[in-house]
Chain A
């Protein structure tokens, strides 16, 4: 059976898996942003927290994704089989690019601008919210873009722990030795990643200040 025939025969299933995949990615990204951006803002002023937070996020990133899913399963409360565990793993994975870019964006601002802001009598929180933050949005967005693309990819593996998504087809295809089934999962996932990348690149460019 050709891939195209397989695709036509499983349209609804594929659409359902794509939607499931998107939900996994969106929920994970929302949580990762909600953790990563404020943490990045917090560590700007605390040297020790910088080392700790960036260190922890880097270590999490080095764990192979399949292993991270595997490690989470036996954990009480957080672990087990299903979407919740998958989302936790995806969040941990997305954290580093978001956290790092938030931090780099906030700290990589022209020192003359920060000197002027301080010398003209802006308070530290005014400098953070009115100067550092708007000037680092595009760098932050670049981190979110990287994290989103990674998450779309890693989310295919979430099917291995019963979280559904496009990975379901890929694992099924591997088990059945069916290239058609593998492609039915892989192609939509690749398209999602490309679309997300392009869309977020546009947002990033809009936010850039030079």
Chain B
């Protein structure tokens, strides 16, 4: 009873013994996630770190029911994603992906206001919201409002992507390598800005990356996945001290000369 009320008040996203496998007609089923259990508290910024194929994106997509687990349960705000109305669930969760995925036929303003428009917000509320979002992501609303995505730089597109994800003020934000395709300078700039934005927003953030430096900068907690399993889970301040070969493998990526971090 106590545990349950604690869960309802504090836990935003919960994975319980989650399995995800893809069954081919000829091959044996491919197990992408194996008995993953995780609790993500409200306001936490959790980074899912792992190599390609570790299952981190799959885990992310289970949260907004882009995928459904083949075993176990994923709960958002205490309710199993299977029980959520998928549309309602997704409109209350922001989503940012690597290529931004902006709608090329819409202006920046139309892109940013996607969910408010789907939710039929009043026009003046929409307009006000657009201004707020642009100032949050550091764009000048009057100069970009009418532009199409093709007229934006990569960094600007990603800023618009973040603004779109936050426009309806969702309590949860999912980000799948949002800065992965940017040039190093722009990437560093956006990472820094987003780190400070994330602290101010106090949203539950789940952030997928394969870049340990980014994980350390943006996460309050790092969950390391390897071959579909959680192999490490620690506050980012303690992460590098963990004694696990995969942690050490990632840590050595910080120091390409191979010099361990001792």
Binding site for B on A (CB under 8 A): 110, 112-123, 126, 131, 134-135, 209-210
Contacts and interface: CB of A to CB of B under 8 A. Distances in A.
25 contacts: A110-B99, A110-B101, A112-B97, A112-B101, A113-B101, A113-B103, A116-B95, A116-B97, A116-B102, A116-B103, A116-B161, A118-B66, A119-B64, A119-B90, A119-B97, A120-B90, A120-B164, A120-B165, A121-B86, A121-B90, A121-B118, A122-B118, A135-B104, A210-B104, A210-B150
Given A119-B66, A119-B90, A121-B118, A113 B102 contact: yes
Interface of B: 64, 66, 86-91, 93, 95, 97-105, 114-115, 118, 150, 161, 164-165, 174
Given A112-B99, A118-B66, A121-B87, A126 B104 contact: no
A13 B118 CA distance: 57
Nearest to B94: A120
- Looking at A115, A117, A120, A131, which has the most chain B CB atoms within 10 Å of its CB? A120
- Looking at A121, A123, A135, which has the most chain B CB atoms within 10 Å of its CB? A121
Contact of A120 (B99, B100, B114, B150): B114
Contacts of B174: 119
A123 B115 CA distance: 12
A110 B105 CA distance: 12
A122 to B, nearest CB: 7
B101 A126 contact: no
Tell me the dominant secondary structure on chain A's binding face.
helix
B91 A121 contact: yes
A122 B164 CA distance: 13
Contacts of B100: 112, 116
Nearest to A114: B101
- Looking at A119, A123, A210, which has the most chain B CB atoms within 10 Å of its CB? A119
A114 B102 CA distance: 9
Given A116-B100, A119-B97, A121-B87, 13 more contacts: A112-B97, A112-B98, A113-B101, A116-B164, A117-B103, A119-B66, A120-B91, A120-B114, A120-B118, A121-B86, A121-B91, A122-B114, A209-B104
Contacts of B66: 115, 118-119
A204 to B, nearest CB: 15
A205 to B, nearest CB: 15
A120 B105 contact: no
Nearest to B91: A121
A120 B115 contact: yes
Contacts of A209: 104-105
A134 B95 CA distance: 23
Given A120-B115, A120-B164, A115 B101 contact: yes
A120 B174 CA distance: 11
B165 to A, nearest CB: 8
B114 A115 contact: no
Contacts of A120: 90-91, 95, 114-115, 118, 164-165
B77 to A, nearest CB: 16
Contacts of A110: 99, 101, 104
B48 to A, nearest CB: 16
A102 to B, nearest CB: 17
Contacts of B101: 110, 112-117
B106 to A, nearest CB: 9
